[in-house]
Structure 1
Amino acid sequence: MGPLSYEFETADRTRTLWDPALKVGKLYVSLARGAGELLELPTGLTPNERGGADVDISTFQAFTQGLYDTCCATRNVLMHDLLRGLLLASIVMLEKGGGTIVRKPDREAGLLDDRDAYVRRMWVED
């Protein structure tokens, strides 16, 4: 039997950022890859030999900031909604890895209202 989860770890493998079910992890990577191509930003996610992904935090931080800036700048409700779940999951992983984004609260319009719920759902024991 193959792996049951898709573990996201820091590139130096000192911290697990998220350990979702295999299909959830693969979907996240696919969505991130697509968004990265659209925004012309590398994701910082590198598949590893264990069936998960290593996350280069500095590159991933720039990617997550790009997602956030795009969500805050768009007036297109569908674009906003399509990117929102990816963004929230990315912010939780980024913060777990010690990174952060520069926020523009006056432009968020409730964008991060569900952040705490994502933190609880994505919780990984250190």
Structure 2
Amino acid sequence: MSYVFDVDDQTVWSPSLRVGDLFVRMHTDICSVLNLMTGITAVAGDMYEIDIDIFEETTLAVFNEYFSSQNTAFKAMLGATLGPAVNILNYCGRPPTPRSNDEQVFIAWATSIGMPR
């Protein structure tokens, strides 16, 4: 069994139940701490619809927090969901525009994460 994350009628990620559940919980908590909307809505217990406009706005806000912070623990926590989120944006043709070499390296790494569809 797996989770399903859809944008419109297209599945953009279908991780195992444990991975999907962890992503949803961590993404939701990060958004709560940063006072952001999640951009994901449960359709069923293991199925989520992504509002790509909100998800993109949220992911870019987390991306900016990540690259403006000097706190390595904070960055590690943000990075746990930021990588998959950037990968989803890339898959949807909306990758972040890198403003530095570090951002370019992160985007390339995020895009390389194996995420079954």
The TM-score normalised by the length of structure 1 is 0.83
Aligned length: 117
**Distance in structure 2 (CA, Å) of the matches to 1:96 and 1:109:** 16
**Distance in structure 2 (CA, Å) of the matches to 1:18 and 1:74:** 28
Paired residue secondary structure (1:48): strand
Q: Is the 8 A contact 1:73 1:107 kept in 2?
A: no
Q: Percent of pairs identical after alignment?
A: 24
Q: Is the 8 A contact 1:65 1:102 kept in 2?
A: no
Paired letter, 2:3 = Y
Partner residue in 2 for 1:58: 53
2:63 maps to 1:104: no
Paired residue secondary structure (1:86): helix
More helix by share: 2
1:68-122, Cα deviation, whole Å (9 max, x unpaired): 000000000111111112111001111212323233215639544522431xx11
Partner residue in 1 for 2:6: 9
1:30-61, Cα deviation, whole Å (9 max, x unpaired): 01101111111101100013621000000000
Alignment of 1:1-126 (within 5 A): 4-10=1-7, 12-13=8-9, 15-49=10-44, 51-105=46-100, 108=103, 110-112=105-107, 114-118=109-113, 121-124=114-117
Q: Is the 8 A contact 1:45 1:60 kept in 2?
A: yes
Give structure 1 regions of 4+ aligned residues with deviation exceeding 6 angstroms: none
**Distance in structure 2 (CA, Å) of the matches to 1:44 and 1:115:** 19
Unpaired runs of at least 5, structure 1: none
Kindly name which structure, 1 or 2, has the bigger radius of gyration based on alpha carbons: 1
More strand by share: 2
Cα 1:102–1:22, aligned 2, differ >3 Å: closer, same or farther? Answer: same
Q: Is the 8 A contact 2:98 2:104 kept in 1?
A: no
